[in-house]
Amino acid sequence: MMIRGDSGYGPALPELNRRLRWVALGILIGFGFLIGRLWQLQVMRGDRYYARTMSNVVKERYLPSVRGKILDKNGVPLADNRPAFNIYATPRLLTPEVKAELERMLGLSEDEIRKIDERLAVGKKRDPRSPILVLEDQGRDRAALVEQARARLPGVEVHHEPYRYYPQGDLAAHLIGYMTQMTAEEADRLTAQGYDPSDLVGRYGLESAWENYLRGKRGVEHYAVDARGQRLDHETVAGLIQGERIIDPVPGANLILTLDVELQRIAEKAVSRVAAAAVVVVEVKTGRVRAIVSKPSFDPNVMTGHLTHAEYTLLMQDPRKPFIDKALRATYPPGSIFKFVTTLAALEDGQAAEDESMFCPGYYELSGTRFRCHGYHEKVDLLKAIKHSCDVYFWNLAQRIGLDRIADVARAYGLGAPTSLGLNGDAGGRIPTKAWYEQRGRYKVGYATNASIGQGDVEVTVMQMAMAYAALANGGKLFVPQVVERVESFEGRTIVSYQPKVAKTVKVPPDLVDVWNRGMWKVNNEPGGTAYEHGYSQVVTVAGKTGTAEVRKRYKDADHKDLEKWNPNASHAWFAGFAPADDPELAIVVLVEHGGSGGTVAWPIAERILAGYFTKLETGSTKNVPPPLIPKKGGKR
Amino acid sequence: MKGVGMMLPRATIGVSRWRRFRASIDWPLIITILILCGIGLLNLYSATRGVRHQAKFEAQMQWMVVGTIGFIVMTVIDYRTLVRLAWVGFTGGVLLIITARLLGSTGDEIHGVTYRWIRVAGVGLQPSEITKVMVILVLARIFSDPQEHNYTPRLLLMRLAILMIPIILIAKQPDLGTAVLVTLMVLTVGFIAMPNVWPMVYLTTAGLLAIPILWESMHEYQKNRVLAFVDCGWAPSKMCWHTQQSVFAVGSGKIWGKGYTGGTQNQFNFVPEHWTDFPYSVWAEEWGFVGSVGLLAVFAFLLIWILNIALSARDRMGAVICVGVAAMTFWHVLVNVAMVLGVAPVVGVTLPFISYGGSSLVTFFVAMGLVANVSLRKHGY
């Protein structure tokens, strides 16, 4: 092709001149389009995008509040906080490579990796751009590893946070309770109340029931990050964060309990040899709980965050049901310790007298059914009947007064109804009446016979019995059990102080109660008494009553052989009483679940607890110090 | 425009060549380029403020020096000579693209594994960039014939077939953005410079009908980008993240912007690689709607000025060169800004003089040198 230069005048490219309008239109459309889009983004939607970019950079982190402590009456911590290292990850930034790096660096186990995946999945759904707790309570070495490798681990953070721990281990575990991560539906509900979904919540015992006092108020920290999730220093971003950068958390309130850790320890030691038991020790004059045991127990430290699936399964499979509070939640037939109800009902109605004697041939016949007494007591009066726990005597009384009178008095003493402690289920139990039986079928006279000795369908909790025996000892005041003495703010200022609360006053005349109490004295202090025969306390005079509550034989013997000392066909062993007998201070109820006989099993435990308590008390006082170890007169037979 | 305001008739006696040369320099063009370079450096400084990228600012300044030399060289040599050598340059460009292919691949985060670069003494060059200038020269040569009857369909198809060679090679690098851009350039110049526009209409229609075939031959990541643009659900989240963060950045600038070096999206790297393909998002975030439109206005002025030079060019060849450079600039700005604004797929098309990167910068300096060349010789001394 020839290269032509047209040097003449006239447009060099006439096509351009001809099509200039179109060219201009093209440029106009192109730039107009861009400017229109700019207008849309920057002017119309500018504020929204501005907020969006700020949320890219400015993050919120909750500063966990320090949870309130739980202390015993002398200030010994039962639940406390220690520093722990928690590892957080931001789901959006945690690429598979970063995760692999983290796994490699820390040498994570299968279990831990699964846990991380689960938590990330939850976090991703909620807000993939805010960090979520993936590994809690890590050791100092792991924390240091992550801290050093921050540049290689975008989106991974380590925070130094208070962590719940229980310095006394499994001591009073059912009362104290434990904490766990919240479930999905709880997370929905509680985030509205200012919780962070990674927070632990009280799951059991006081930790759960007093959550609102204990949790305190969390703080907030605003900080800025770059696209890799790395924190930016405060100078760089000073202008970006509006308002307060840090709102300090408010620590939770401390609970001061009525519990006495030393007595609690004595009580737990006393039940160490039996498979399952419950003990409640209360102050008779106030209803304050001094010791409360439910065995088997668990370690709240393990339950709070560290429990593996295997451990959990093992605990759940235990036939003794470790997660049921045997002092508050579980109900049992009370057996002979219920006889005070029958006695007082009969005395009140004038259907019994202290000096009335009956003959116990070892059995009792009622409309063709023969009820067997546990012994052959011959001629017994009321006090002797109590002392020997002669069933025949009480069966006779029951026949005179009827089932509903027994139920009335039982109710008056708070049996068969929750104690209003509001903890761990606080069960009601059952005091059957005629109406109750008629509702479910036909009433038989034999039901009153059974109920009179605390068998049949009578079911109570250990705590109910403790409050009833305290009422026997204090002249009829039925207290609401109290475990929290006062609530203090973290600075030590008392927020609420709780006074003993009388639920109701029992109207049984004191002289009638005194008859029963004298019978109880004989149980512990006269040869032949069901307790005396198995040990006599030289430290303190005890008045009490043993009970051996038979259970329905539901299991073949072979079923639970694998667990030592656990025979679900054996009777429940009970002891209920108070000490000192002349001026009662403590009421105590001991239940050994499927433990056998009350006198041989439950009473020695109660004796050890009371001896421990009163030895300590005397040691601390100006009285002469008795030898710390008391040789038992009767010993175990 | 014939000498109006110009005190330099063709044969002024007693005035040296140098003074005539100096007086013919197209200052508006040069000043516009300087303004764009200034904005580019200003913006790059903000974009690379982090410790890791400070070397980029220095490198860009060095490339500007190289570009200036290219500009001067391209201005001084008569464009007619350059157009005469167009096919040689074109062949050279194609060979360089093939060389890049043979030298092996390079991979980077946004583009994946590609065959775009030639490394010479530690400096990466993209032959596809400079090939655009060669294509413009070839177009100038093709369309320099004013006779309508000389543009026979056969001849036209043959020429276009030859022009398709670099386009296909670039598409195979793979660099779909540049391939599409060169195609748009060729079509634009064709539409403006062909004496008879109908062959271009037929050709474009045929090309549009061929799109399904092209789609099938595209790479997975290219399809993903287009799909990501259509619907975020289609593509790996990274690509959507890119566009989304860019849109957030631009929008968050509002009317007046967040202030120089105050763009959080940019400063804290929420828009990845914002100095090469997304400098406009940095600019828009920090200078707002006012600054964004202002920058577009500068580009608009540049386009108008180049077209003005085309109108006053001495010959057809020079005018076509200007039209080619204007088309290249126009499509670069349109595609890049549309991509930043989230209305075009993410492709590797730079913003002239603003984007970081030697190849693109030098290419535009050279292209503008050609325009200055045409402007300088419009009086045909």
The pLDDT value given to residue B272: 73
Smallest CA-to-CA distance from A64 within A201, A173, A169 is with: A201
Name chain B contacts of A39, Cβ cutoff 8 Å.
Answer: 289
Per the listing, tokens 């982090």 go with B50
Half-sphere exposure of A250 (CA within 13 A, CB side): 8
Residue A26, helix vs strand vs coil = helix
Residues of chain B found within 8 Å of residue A53, distances taken between Cβ atoms: 248-249, 252, 264-265, 270, 285
Strand pairing report for A254-257 and A70-71: parallel
Mean pLDDT over the full length of chain B: 84
> Strands, E, within A66-184: which ranges?
70-71, 77-89, 132-138, 156-165, 179-181
State pLDDT tens for residues B57-108: 989 999 999 999 999 999 999 999 999 999 999 999 999 988 888 876 665 5
The answer to whether the CB of B70 falls within 8 A of the CB of B369 is yes
H or E element at residue A378: strand A378-381
Query: CA of B247, closest CA in chain A: separation in Å?
Result: 7
Q: Do B314 and A224 touch (CB under 8 A)?
A: no
Of A15, A33, A42, the CB nearest to B253: A42
What's the pTM value of the predicted model, to 2 decimals? 0.65
Helix, strand, coil % in chain B, rounded to nearest 5: 70, 5, 30
Distance from CA of B283 to the nearest CA of A (A): 12
Strand-pairing partners, residue B214, are: none
Contact call for A19 and B310, based on CB within 8 A: no
Size of interface A-B (CB pairs under 8 A): 166
CA nearest A353: which of A396, A391, A405? A396
What would the pLDDT profile of B232-260 be if each residue is shown by its tens digit? 545 455 567 778 888 989 999 999 998 88
The residue type at B323:
V
Q: Which of A2, A6, A13 to mutate to test the interface with B (most CBs of B within 10 A)?
A: A13
Percentage of chain B lying above the pLDDT 70 cut: 87
Q: How many CA atoms lie within 13 A of A575 on its CB side?
A: 37
* Cβ-nearest to B292 among A27, A42, A47: A42
Using the predicted structure, report yes or no on whether residue A560 has a pLDDT greater than 60: no
Is the separation of the CB atoms in A398 and A451 below 8 Å? yes
Tell me if A27 and B330 make a contact (CB, 8 A cut-off): yes
In a structure prediction context, what are the per-residue pLDDT tens digits for chain B, which is 381 residues long?
Answer: 444 444 455 555 566 777 777 777 889 999 999 999 999 999 999 888 865 677 889 899 999 999 999 999 999 999 999 999 999 999 999 999 888 888 766 655 555 556 777 776 667 788 889 999 999 999 999 888 888 777 887 888 888 889 999 998 988 887 888 999 999 999 999 999 888 888 888 888 988 888 888 787 777 777 776 776 665 545 455 567 778 888 989 999 999 998 888 888 877 777 777 888 899 999 999 999 999 999 999 999 999 999 999 999 989 999 999 999 999 999 999 999 999 998 888 888 999 999 998 899 999 999 999 999 999 888 754
Q: No. of H helices and E strands in chain A?
A: 21, 23
Cβ-based contacts of A23 with chain B (< 8 Å): 192, 307
A49–B84: do the CB atoms touch at under 8 Å? no
Chain B residues inside the 8 Å CB shell of A240:
264
Are B248 and A54 within 8 A, CB to CB? no
The reported pLDDT for the residue numbered A635 is 37
- How is residue A43 annotated by DSSP? I
Centroid of chain to Cα B237: 29
Query: Which of B264, B307, B343 would best serve as a mutation to test chain A binding (most A beta carbons within 10 A)?
Result: B264
Chain B: residue whose CA lies nearest to A239: B262
Cα nearest neighbour of A29 on chain B: B334
**Strand A586-592 to strand A277-283: parallel, antiparallel, or no bridges (unpaired)?**
antiparallel
Query: From its phi and psi, is residue A70 left (phi > 0), alpha (psi between -120 and 50) or beta?
Result: beta
Give the nearest partner residue to A7 out of B145, B314, B337, using CB atoms: B314
**Smallest Cα–Cα separation from A6: which of B137, B4, B378?**
B378
CA-based end-to-end distance of chain B: 15
Minimal-distance CA residue of chain A relative to B318: A12
Residue of B85, B137, B162, B268 to mutate for A, most A C-beta atoms under 10 A: B268
> Which residues of B are less than 8 Å from A42 in CB distance?
250-251, 253-255, 284, 288-289, 292
Measured distance CA(A565)–CA(B113) in Å, rounded: 72
Q: Which residues contact B334 (CB under 8 A, 6 or more apart)?
A: A30, A33, A34
Within 8 A of A155 by CB-CB distance, chain B residues are: none
Interchain proximity B255–A41, CB inside 8 Å: no
Of A467, A72, A509, A462, whose CA–CA distance to A286 is shortest?
A467
For the stretch A82-120, pLDDT in tens is 888 888 888 877 888 888 888 888 888 888 888 888 888
Strand (E) positions, A464-571? 477-480, 484-488, 494-497, 501-505, 543-549
Judged by CB atoms closer than 8 Å, whether chains meet at B80 and A57 is answered as no
- Whether residue B337 and residue A34 make contact (CB cut-off 8 A), yes or no, is yes
Kindly compute the dihedral angle of the four CA atoms of residues B111, B115, B120, B123, in this order, to the nearest 10 degrees. -10
Residue A49 with chain B: CB contacts under 8 Å: 247-248, 250-252
Alpha carbons A603 and A597: distance in angstroms, whole number:
9
Best of B315, B328, B377, B378 to substitute, by most chain A Cβ atoms within 10 angstroms, is: B315
* Strand boundaries in chain B, DSSP class E: 106-108, 112-114, 118-120, 123-125
Sign, CA dihedral B225-B226-B227-B231, equals positive
Nearest beta carbon to residue B265 from set A12, A20, A53: A53
List of chain B residues whose C-beta atoms are within 8 Å of the C-beta of residue A54:
252, 264
Q: Which amino acid is at B55?
A: A
Q: Which of B283, B243, B253 is nearest to A50 (CA)?
A: B253
Of the residues B237, B341, B374, B381, the best mutation for testing chain A's interface (the one with the most A CB atoms within 10 Å of its CB) is B341
pLDDT bin (cut points 50, 70, 90) of residue A630 is very low
Span A136-152, pLDDT tens digits: 778 888 888 888 888 78
Q: What is the ipTM of this complex?
A: 0.91
Give how far B168 is from chain A: nearest CA, Å: 26
The nearest alpha carbon in chain A to B303 belongs to A27
